[in-house]
Homo-oligomer: A and B are copies of this chain.
Amino acid sequence: MSTQDSDALNQRHAARMQRKKEVVDAKIAAATDERGVIVITTGNGKGKSSSGFGMVIRAMGHGMQTGVVQFVKGAFATGEELFLRQFAEQCQFHVMGEGYTWETQDRTRDIEKAVAAWDVARTLLSDPAIGLVLLDELNIALKYRYLDVAQVVADLQARPPMQHVVITGRGAPQELIDVADTVTDMAVVKHAFQQGIKAQRGVEL
């Protein structure tokens, strides 16, 4: 590219970015509310729980207290559990479920576990000292109707006004989406698992 062409390209870039900055700045200026938000990550793609854990460390980086309730426990401790257990004073970590529903195959017991998990969640949701609560795989418990969605919504809405809640799992029910502030649907474009690659530590576990 000649110097002249390159200069022209750089100038067009600067002009385009200036217009973009005006649009972005106007949007930022319009967003003035500050309050606790409900974030939902749902869909079949990879990244729902890890996104929730990313927000937990974000909050911890700002000195906030956090709480985690895992509604579905895997066969062994995940990396995030091993890691966050080191921070008992800044992160209350509760692994409440026993496993995926197709592992337990016992609906009555699954319901008991989900109800017990929700009791722990409700304690976190009523504590204004906790800045962010992660309810990992809660959507699964709702999808199978192990918990009453109306009760879950009522408890979420009664939480301290500045508290953030992140809810993960496939199949988020519409009632929950309706009361959420930010909802992301994570779709699979491709997955290593489909290509015969085992779940990898640090990535899936």
Contacts and interface: CB of A to CB of B under 8 A. Distances in A.
Contacts of A105: 13-14, 17-18, 21
A84 to B, nearest CB: 7
Given A198-B31, A202-B164, A186 B189 contact: no
A35 B81 CA distance: 23
A191 B199 contact: no
A55 interface: yes
Contacts of A183: 188-191
B197 A107 contact: no
A95 interface: no
A151 interface: no
Contact of A187 (B108, B184, B201): B184
Work out how many copies of this chain go into the complex. 2
Given A181-B192, A184-B188, A198-B31, A203 B132 contact: yes
Contact of A199 (B18, B31, B79, B205): B31
A16 to B, nearest CB: 8
Given A51-B51, A190-B181, A195-B181, A202 B62 contact: yes
Contacts of A102: 17-18, 20-21, 24
Interface stretch (A40-48, A114-122, A153-161): A40-48
B182 A10 contact: no
A55 B50 contact: yes
A112 interface: no
A60 B80 CA distance: 8
A10 B185 CA distance: 31
Interface string A163-199: 0101000000000010011111111111111011111
8 contacts: A10-B107, A35-B197, A39-B192, A61-B83, A181-B190, A184-B188, A185-B189, A186-B186
